[in-house]
Each structure stands twice: as structure tokens, then as C-alpha cells.
Amino acid sequence: MRKEWLSRLRFFFLLAFDKNKRQSELDEELQFHLEQATLANIAAGMTQEEARRQALVEFGGVERTREQCHEQRPGWQMGTVVQDVRYALRGFRCNPVFTITVIATLAVGIGATTAVFSVVDRILFRSLPYAHDDRIVSLGLVQSLEKQEFTLGGFFFDWQDNQKPFEAIASQGTMLHACDLVEANPAQLNCIHAQAGFLPLLGISPVLGRNFLPEEDRPNGPRVALISYGLWQDHYNRDAGILNRLIDVDGSPARVIGVLPKGFELPTLQAPDVMMPLALDEGIERKSSPGHPMRTFARLRPGVSIAQAKAEMEPLFVHTQSWIPREIRNDFHLSIRSLRDRETQDVRLMAWILLSSVLAVLLIACANVASLMMARGEVRERELAVRAALGASRGRLIQQTLTEAALLSLAGAVAGMALAEGLLRTFVALAPTGIPFLKRAGLDLRIALFTVLLSGVCGAIFGLLPALQTPRAAALAARATRFHKRAVLRRSLVVGQIAISMVLLTGAALLLRSFQNMQEQSLGMQTGGVFTVRIALPGFRYDTGQKKMAFYLQAEAALRRIPGIRAVGFSDSVPPGGWNNDERLGGFAPEGRRPIPSADNGGPVVTRGVTPDYFRALNIPIVLGRNFTEEDRSSSEYWVVLSRLLAARLFPGEDPVGKRIQKGQNGIWLTVAGVAENVKNSGLTEQDAPEIYYLRRSIAQDWGGRAPVSEVMSGAAPILIVDAVLPPKTVAPWVRSAIAGIDPTVPVETETLAQGVSKLADRPRFETALLGFFAFCGLLMAVIGVYGVIAFMAAQRTQEIGVRMALGATRLNILRLIAGEGVRLIALGGAAGLAVSLATAQLLKSLLYNVGSHDPTMYAAATVLLALVALTATLIPARAAMKVEPVVALREE
């Protein structure tokens, strides 16, 4: 065997280097055979001439034998591939426009699809990183102010006792909270509390150590903690001795009992550094109302659907509903959603839209490749016929075509992967926060392979069409009269491309308009020159309202001393956002009147705890009465400023200034100091809510903390709002150093108001930019498609045009002839696309702001754009056709 291999190898090299010698030896050998045959014939009595003729006849095709002898050579097949590749490359070099167009088209199709799929895969398709992820649900109450399910202690235990549809149910705290790791190397961490049953519910077990024991999940139980893999790795250098070590969290020791798996995320999509037992006191929770708020998750029993579970839980909910105060009871509902829904619901629509638009782009790309390959195939039909006539087998022709398609796909794939990588980076950089999983998205090789194959197949199938047909003798005659059948196919491809690109364009136009509306709306405040300063005070050191107030008042005074700062105010939120401290219009009763009774209690009221300079810093005009004054800050009275909307609701047709309002039944009395102009306060796209400004007074209760908070302040940390004359970039460092002068250890975050507002528009900007980009790609490729088809048809008809002109057609007639073809295709495709757009635009509705999903202006704009660009693409070849010289055209071929 080895010897055989050696001899093969020897021949391979011998042949590779000695091809000519081999060839002449073969010729000599065949020549010898021929001579012998002639001699034999002479011996049989033929004349010299006849003998030679007979021998030649018997011998048959010398060239064919020669070829066949060649084909016996080991590695011959590979040689032909190399030959095909060389031939294909030569062809590409001769036709760079074709090559570049195909590769670019493939690259955009492959790149965009791969990048987008990599992003949406986790959102739409990939399973969640928990065991039985399809059976895990989020359950709890929802109400008009909180759309994410939550439970309260008493509800949870009651449900847990009586529920049947779930095999496990457990809760975590409502949100991550900042906590401090106090040791030689201190750090601020994110902590979460969870029940002992929480990790088992998710099917997660610590990579090191163990989960909480039930006795640790009780009040006054041993204080234990699970730490994240990241913390273990970065802070403790993966020290296995971390188990049982005491770490100091927020000033009290906790024993580390385990390390969470790498990349562990809560079902709320947050990554905690430290997890501690929730340690609820069941007895107290059952009695207290409303009890401790939590996020509750459960695992359905196998075979139980969410609808069934909801039906079974409804009686339990109705039972517990009676614990909710009567006035607001109807606002609470039971909700059970699959975990995937909870995690991705608000981005799901966007993900689907992105995915479908990118698939549309891929379709256009494939159609383009197909169309280009067909055109090329048709042009080469004659070449193929010649090659077949010279003895190339069908297989050989197919192999050649496939080689070309494969080469193009390969080049397109390489370019596409580079593009995908770039696009993905752009997505991550551009994307707003809150798109789950995005930060960890990596290029998905499976989908890359899929797109490469898909486009390769597109190219191959359409490239093969001409090779598969028996090359016809007619093709050798080179009369361009038989392209009709395939021309129909190419025309419909173009119509499809135009239609798809029309759909993309209208979608993009609608989003663009909506985004523009959002950007141009009046916020009701100034954003230029204003910046916010957020200070994260470590809770364990600033543990009383007194200490916090002292710090903040010092900071306020220090900032006021900085040159170039016009006003320094406090608030707990910044427009266009706003807190809703669970207050409703019905909770406010003007003196002498009963509160407004209604089903949802008049709807939410936004509250803000501010100091007098807040209005000055944001330049919010006081339209009636007066602003808070510095003196009010030390008064014991509850002064309020109403927004114009709230004033109109509470005091329709009256002057509210100086009037008193009672907050809640038998609550405190508020005095109206003035009325401020409305400010955007429920996000950029939502309807504004009425707003009440409380004065943040200089007393400890008004500064939050874990000490009791005053009745009117939200628990949120105060934010400094600074209006500077100098650019924020200059002032911000001074602000930092001023605060460092008070306490050098507190982290300070500054952000201009414009940045903050712009961040809110991140999501719509992202959507608009992406859809716009895809629409652009789609349009570009569709136009290339139109151009290609028209140019090709014009070229095919050169002779016909020559004849027509010779018979008296004017150049205008010719222009009309060629361009008319294009106009028909564009009109057909555009109409089809418009119909599809109108039918599907409803889907975009929830993403649109102040623009209807059937906005005629935007549809008209998209149509005009498409028509203009596509017409230009037809006019170029049409003009070229118009300039055909009849004599030249007729003399051709």
C-alpha cells in the first residue's frame, strides 16, 4: 500500500512539473499505435493510403483519448478545481462591476442579517439560562402604575399555601439596592434579597458552597451571603477559602456560604454582587397589610398552561383582593406571564420589526444576486455552448458555474462577517440601556453559516440555470431573441425588490417622522447649560436624615460659591421623567370639597420634592402666585406649587393661590403658593400627568434615608440641579472638587440635562436609525436590481433599437421604449409595496409618536423618494440606449 502511495505521489509531482514532457510522450505513444495499425492494415493488403485512413477511423478521436488519459492522473479533479478557480478569477477581473456588486450585495445581506439575528436571538428564540425556563412564570399584582408583577408579603404566603398549578414558588426583593462592602478594599455593590427557595426554583446551584438553608431565611437567623462569580474573581482572586469567611456588608458581618455561577442574572435581568436571604417574618407578614413588596416567580407543573394557572389562581386573588383598600381595589389585577414575556415584552416588538426588516433586506439581496447571476449566465450562454461543442461535459460546465458561485459566496461571506462584526459593535454602542442581553451578544456563527449558504444557493441556482439547459445550437448563432422566459423571472424579481423596499421605506419614514416629533416637542423647560449632580451617599455612614441633610445643604452652599453657577436647586427626579409616589388626583381634596371620586381615583399625579431654585434652574415659569422662597424652607407649613394642569383639575375656574388642600382623608393640609407652567413629566411619549411640587424643607424628614420620611417626600435620593453660565464641561470638575471637599469618598455623577433627555430618546433613535439603515440598504440594492435589468435588456435590444431607428424612430421614442419598461416595473412593485405597507403598518403603531400609522405625507414621501431613485436608475441605461448609433448597432455581430 505504501509503495502504491509513493508511486502516486511521485507521479503527482512528476506530472505537476513535467507536464509538457508527459504530453509529448503520450503523443508519441499514440502515434506509435497508429503506425502499428497502419502497418497491420497494409499487411492485410490495403494500399498505404487506405491503410492509414482505416487506422485513423478505427482509432477515433485522438484529442478525446488524450483528455481521458489526463483524467486518469491522481489529483486531476483537484487540478480542474484550481483551473476553474483561476478561470473564474480571470472572469471576475474582466467584469469588476459585476463582481463588486455581487460581493457587496452578499456582504450587506449576510452582514446585516447575522448582526441583527445575533442581537434578537436571545430576545426571541434562545432559551433562558434557567432549568425548565419554558415553565417559569412571573406572577403577582399589576396596577395602572406598576405593570410588572409584584406581590406583598401577606398575599404571597396566602397564595403559596393554597395554590395548585405551581410546583415551586419563591420571591426576591423588588430591586437591587446599593450596599457597601466594608473592608480594607471597600466597594459599593449591588445587593438583592431572595428566599431560600428562589435559586432552586430557577434551577441554579452555586458553583462553590451551597444555597441558603430554610433556617437562614428567617428573621434573626444567621446572617449569610452568596457572592457573585464576578465579585469572587475580581475582589477575592477566586480564593477557594472564601467560604465561611465573614465579610462586612453595610457595617455588619455576613458569612459567605457560596459563589453564584458565572454570568448569573436574576429573572429581573439584573446581576447582583451579593445575595442575602429575604428573611421575612411570616407571622407578621400574614397580619400586616400591605406587607413586604416582592417579585414572585413560580414554576408551572408540567402540562399546566399559563391560562389554566391564571384560572386556578383567580379565586385566591379575589380572596386576597379584599385586603386592598376599597377605593383602589379595582385598580389591581392578577397577572401571570411567562418569564420570557416579562424579560423581553417591551423590546419584543422592536426585535421582530428589526428581524423582519433585515430579512427583507436579505431577500432583496438574494433577488439581486439571483438576477445578476442570471444576467451573467445569459450573457455567457454562447460561451457555454462553445465549450460544450469543444467537448466539455455537462458536469464540467456545472462544476465551473458552481465554482464561481462558491467563490462569490465566499468573498461575500468574508466581507459580510467583517460587516456583521462592525454592525454589532455599532448596535451595542448605539443601543439604549434596557435591551436585554445586548451587551453579551456575540456573532452567531450558525446564522452566519445559514445566510452564507442561503445566498450561495441563491447565486448557484440562478447561475446554474443556463448551464443546466442543454446548450442549444441556437446559442452559437448569437441572435439575442430568446431571453423572454427568463426575462419574465428577472422582471418579477425586480418587482418584488421594489415592493419590499417600499415597505421598508414607509416604515422608516414613519419612525423618522415620529422621532422628529419627539425631538421637536416642547419640554416646558430649558435644557441648555443645565446639568444634574447625583451623589451616592453610602447608606451605612449617612444613616439618618439629619446626616444626609447636613451633607446636602453643605453641598448646596459649596456649589453656590462656584463662579459661573446661576442657580442650584434640589429635586428627586428630573423632567421629562417624574416620580409617581403612588399619589392620585382623588387623594387631594381642596378645602371644603370632597375628593374627586372616580374608578381609578382620578389617575396618577406626579410628585416632586424641590427647593425654590428648581424652577429658576430649569426656567419653568410661575404663571400664578409665587415660587417657594428661601424663607419657606425653614417654615413648618407644607407649601406646594401646582402644575397648571393640576390647578385646572383641582380648582376649575378658580384662583388656587393661597387655597388649602387636604392630602388623603384626615391627612395633612397643604397650602398652594403658586402655579407653574406644565412640564413634560411622564417620559417623552406619554401624555403629561398633573404634577404637584412639594417644598423640600430644611428638616431631617425631608431628606430621606432609612429614618422615617416625611409624608410628602418620596424616598428617592435628592438630585442637585445646576444652571451654569459657563459650559458644564468647565463647571463639572469644580463641582466635583467642591463636593470632594465635603466628603472625598462619595461618588459623584454629573450629566447635562440635554444628555439625560437624549438618553430617553435612545430607544426611538436606535429603532429609527436601524430601520433607516435597512431601508437605505434595501433601496440601494433594489435600485441596483432595476438598473441591472434595464441595462441588460437595453443591451440585448441594441440591434432592435438600431433597426427601429433606421426605420425612423426618434431618440425620444427609444427613450420611451426602454424607460417605459422600467416605469412599469417600478409602478407595479411600488403599488404592491404600498398595499403591503398599508396592511402591516398597524404593527408599528405602538412605536409611533404623534404620527398615524397611515400618515399620508410620509407615505407620499417614501413613494416619491423610491420613484425618483428608481427612475434615475432606469434613465441611465435608457439614455445610453437612446444614443445608440443605428449604423454601429446594425453592423455589430
> Taking a C-beta distance cutoff of 8 angstroms, is the pair 193, 280 a contact?
no
Least separation in angstroms between residue 35's CB and another protein is 7
Q: Is 19 in the site for another protein (CB under 8 A)?
A: no
- Part in contact with another protein (CB under 8 A); list of ranges 6-14, 96-104, 668-676, 726-734: 6-14
- Picking from 729, 692, 725, 727, the residue whose alpha carbon sits closest to that of residue 711 is 692
The residue within the footprint of another protein, chosen from 25, 341, 711, 893 (CB under 8 A), is 25
Cα–Cα distance measured from residue 303 to residue 752, given in angstroms and rounded to the nearest whole number: 52
Of the residues 60, 563, 597, 744, which one makes contact with another protein according to CB under 8 A: 60
Nearest CA to 867 out of 821, 827, 809, 836 is that of 827
Euclidean distance between the first and the last CA atom of the chain, given in angstroms as a whole number: 58
CB atoms within 10 A of CB 502: 31
Tell me which of 18, 27, 35, 711 binds another protein, using CB under 8 A: 35
| Binding piece for another protein, criterion CB under 8 A, among 37-45, 195-203, 447-455, 710-718 | 37-45
Which part of the chain contacts another protein (CB under 8 A), choosing from 54-62, 516-524, 818-826, 877-885? 54-62
Q: How far is the CB of 31 from another protein (least distance, A)?
A: 10
4, 49, 161, 631: which one contacts another protein (CB under 8 A)? 4
Q: How far is CA 473 from CA 262, 469, 470, 476, 478, in A?
A: 68, 12, 9, 5, 10
Give every CB contact of residue 521 below 8 A, 6+ residues apart in sequence.
680, 684, 850
Cα 111 to Cα 130, 417, 555, distances in angstroms: 31, 6, 51
> Hey, which bits of 656-706 come out as E strands?
660-663, 669-676, 691-695
Binding region for another protein (CB under 8 A) out of 3-11, 77-85, 612-620, 810-818: 3-11
Query: Does residue 241 interact with another protein by CB under 8 A?
Result: no
Name the minimum Å distance from CB 26 to another protein: 8
Give min distance, CB of 39 to another protein, in A: 8
- Residue with Cβ nearer another protein (73 or 660): 73
Among residues 567, 599, 562, the alpha carbon closest in space to that of 584 is found at: 599
Alpha-helical segments (H) within 44-164 = 48-59, 62-71, 76-94, 96-120, 153-162
* CA–CA separation, 548 and 308 (whole Å): 50
**Residue 541: half-sphere exposure toward Cβ, Cα within 13 Å:** 12
Residue 872 found at the interface with another protein (CB under 8 A): no
Q: Give the rounded distance of the alpha carbon of 150 from its chain centre.
A: 28
Least distance CB 61 / another protein (angstroms): 7
Query: Beta 669-676 vs 274-277: how paired, if at all?
Result: unpaired
Nearer to another protein, 46 or 85 (CB): 46
Q: Phi and psi dihedrals of 533, rounded to 5?
A: -125, 120
Buried b (16+ CB within 10 A) or exposed e, 707-722: eebbebbbeebbbbbb
Closest CA to 440 of 272, 227, 226, 264: 264
Bridge partner residues of 335 (DSSP): 140
Q: Binding pattern to another protein, positions 480-519, x when CB under 8 A?
A: ----------------------------------------
Which listed residue (36, 270, 730, 842) binds another protein by CB under 8 A?
36
As measured in angstroms, the least distance from the Cβ of 12 to another protein is 9
User: How far is 57 from 55, CA to CA, in rounded Å?
Assistant: 5
Q: How far apart are CA 268 and CA 344, in angstroms?
A: 10
Would you say 28 or 630 has its CB closer to another protein? Answer: 28
Q: How far apart are CA 566 and CA 615, in angstroms?
A: 12
Is there binding between residue 26 and another protein (CB under 8 A)?
A: yes
CA angle at 576 for the pair 625 and 766, rounded to the nearest 5°: 165
Residue in 18, 27, 29, 686 binding another protein, rule: CB under 8 A:
29
| Bridging pattern class, strands 691-695 and 639-643 | antiparallel
User: Judged by CB under 8 A, which of 27, 58, 885, 893 binds another protein?
Assistant: 58
- Is 65 a binding residue for another protein by CB under 8 A? The answer is yes
CB of residue 385 vs another protein: minimum separation in angstroms?
Answer: 25
Q: Which is nearer to another protein, 36 or 758 (CB)?
A: 36
In the complex, what is the shortest distance from the CB of residue 470 to another protein, in angstroms, rounded to a whole number? 24
Smallest distance, Å, CB 49 to another protein?
Answer: 20
Report the residue from 23, 47, 48, 68 that binds another protein according to the rule CB under 8 A.
68
Q: Applying CB under 8 A, does 596 fall inside the site for another protein? A: no
- Given the rule CB under 8 A, which of 55-63, 214-222, 278-286, 721-729 is the region that contacts another protein? 55-63
For position 3 contacting another protein by CB under 8 A, the verdict is: yes
Question: Which residue of 13, 17, 32, 669 would you call a contact of another protein, by CB under 8 A?
Answer: 32
Residue 655 binds to another protein (criterion: CB under 8 A): no
Q: Which of residues 676-695 bind another protein (CB under 8 A)?
A: none
Binding residues with another protein: total (CB under 8 A): 30
| Minimal distance, residue 38 CB to another protein, in Å | 11
DSSP assignment letter at 830: H
* Smallest distance from another protein to CB 42, Å: 12
842 binds another protein (CB under 8 A): no
User: If you search the block for the grid coordinates 423571472, which residue do you land on?
Assistant: 489
CB of 7 to another protein, least distance (A): 4
- To another protein, the closest distance from the beta carbon of 395 in angstroms equals 17
Q: Hunting for cell 434578537 — which residue is that?
A: 120
Contact range with another protein by CB under 8 A, out of 69-77, 549-557, 744-752, 875-883: 69-77
Report if residue 48 touches another protein, rule: CB under 8 A: no
Alpha-carbon distance 332 to 322, whole Å? Answer: 11
To another protein, the closest distance from the beta carbon of 387 in angstroms equals: 21
Q: Does 43 bind another protein (CB under 8 A)?
A: no
Question: What is the footprint of another protein within residues 70-109 (CB under 8 A)?
Answer: 71-74
Which one among 46, 53, 59, 289 touches another protein, defined by CB under 8 A? 59
* DSSP labels, 719-763: EEEEEESS-HHHHHHHHHHHHHTT-TTS-EEEEEHHHHHHHHTHH
227 and 242 Cβ atoms separated by less than 8 Å = yes
Which residue, 27 or 655, is less far from another protein as judged by CB?
A: 27
Query: Which CB atom, from 64 or from 561, has the smaller least distance to another protein?
Result: 64
> Does 39 participate in binding another protein (rule CB under 8 A)?
yes
Between CA 532 and CA 707 the distance in angstroms is 25
Sign of the four-CA dihedral 53, 55, 61, 66: negative
Interface residue with another protein, options 61, 528, 715, 733 (CB under 8 A): 61
Which residues of this chain interact with another protein, rule CB under 8 A? 3-4, 6-8, 11, 25-26, 28-30, 32-33, 35-37, 39-40, 58-61, 64-65, 68-69, 71-74
